[in-house]
Structure 1
Amino acid sequence: MKNSNSATKQEVVWFEKTVEYKFIADCLEKGIIKSIAPLDGIQERVGDTIIVTKDSLKNYRFYIVEFKKDLGSKGFNSEVNNKFLGKVSGYNAARDCFSDEGKPSIKGHYFVGAQYEDSNFQLIVRDYFAPSRDTHETLEDAFSSIVGMTQEQFALYVNRFTSHKTSQKCYKCSDSDNGGDKATSPAGPNPGGNGLSVEKHISMVVAINPDNKECITFPLTSVQVTDGLGGLPEVNISPDFGGDGGAGIVIKTEIIIVHPIYMEPEPGELSHPDDLEEEIAG
């Protein structure tokens, strides 16, 4: 007679936190990252963390990482449904904005998850706007010295990407009737103009340098346009397109996160508040 309780099915379980710990362990072992800045709160509109490396010419390269337990449909759907207005349509609009002939135009924004196969637990990486959710790559390929964003690309990307999360439309999208390669940064309304006010807060996010174990600071500026009474109005933002400025784009403005460009610092450092060059007018 068989004992029905003699056999139990064992399930391998891990969590998003497991992926984060594994990521840190693997990056330290492989010497991949120069600095890592975990994000939360308003700043997490950018992503879970910002990674900084250096390329073969010692220039800084920037990456955004969104951690998931794995890279299956459940994690992807939670990202799309919880973080984009319009859910799938909002994500697709952002994907189209950052794609060139169906492929991501910016290399350096990733989902990082894990898989367990043949008793091996390993990380897998996929472009945030990858055309297929079945594709993935290794840490070494994703964070190699030939990919990642320059500081200028990163500053612009952060601004555009976070505006997609709050308005479904950024100031450079082709469907805004004002898109184009000449757009460089949004120009916010003048404080007090038309009853509007611009609230700006420069936050120096703590980042950790694994080389010298020092905690350094990383600049992220949050900009919120209000009606002066704490409300969030529809605001007409007119970018500088090098011509007549266009008719402007009406969006519901919440909070925009921008990365101010910084001067070349000392090795192992990122920036100091006195060195910031703001990219957004206010």
Structure 2
Amino acid sequence: MLTKIQRPGKSIPEIVRTKIVENINISLNNITTIDGKFIINDKLFFKSQNKRRPSPCVVNSANFISKKFQYELSQIENCYGETKINNQSFDGLMNVNYSGEGYTIKDKNKILELVHKYIENKKLPIRTVYTLFPLFYGMYVERGYYNLLPELNFARDLFKVEEVNQTFKVGVEFETGNIASSFRAINKLNTLFHENEIDCGCFITSNDKCNGATRIWPVSNRNGSFEELINRNYIDQISLPLVAIGFTPDGFCQDAPLLGFDGKLYTPEDTGRLNDTGEYKVLLGDRKEEILIPNL
């Protein structure tokens, strides 16, 4: 797959960020359909329900991608696939060792003042205090093994620097659903960070609609993408150190196999029949359900 770092997670030590991106790229690039590439069949198929006129239907299973991703991540050392902590299930967990400098604020009572100054300097909406305060408190009071954000250099004297040895617990969410699902995934990572169950997060979804979400699932509501998240100011919802990575298929081909729910690739089987009106050919799709293509 083609990947793009949408949010680098500057407060996370570089060696940890690099390892996160490396592990995600390995996992995504092991999800393939043709010749070692993730080539998507974006052909339009139809289905007739309740004797109504056929309408476009989904033939590529999101389960194929998410389960493959979880499996591939679990094959990497110190990484795990689907994980459940405090009744929260998420797509993966990484443990990344770090030895180096970490910053802690000397007087925790100054953290709110620091947040307000940061908001003022960056000309952010005052409402961002609700996400920045738990972020800063979690990094620089409760933990103390993160980088000092460049935008906080004005307050460097408020911090002490110490050598730390820490295993970063990285929660991973790989989202193939709609925009609401993406926000739920981010909030899940926020909660795990606030509960000290993870130290940072990695969120993955498609880069955009036209070359990703609406080509893999052309007509479904699975249209979540960074394009849409950015339009909805998703950054305002983030209250943990987060690396965000977007993906795009390597290409599109209407002869490529389709993505099956059980994790296998499949090609629809031509039954040799037409539907009642003769306008569509009848094929058998994933799990043998009837799907249609125009009888041209």
TM bracket (short chain):
under 0.3
Structure 2 length-normalised TM:
0.26
Rg (Cα) greater in structure: 2
With a CA cutoff of 8 Å and minimum separation of 6, indicate the structure with the bigger relative contact order: 2
Q: TM-score, normalised by structure 1?
A: 0.26
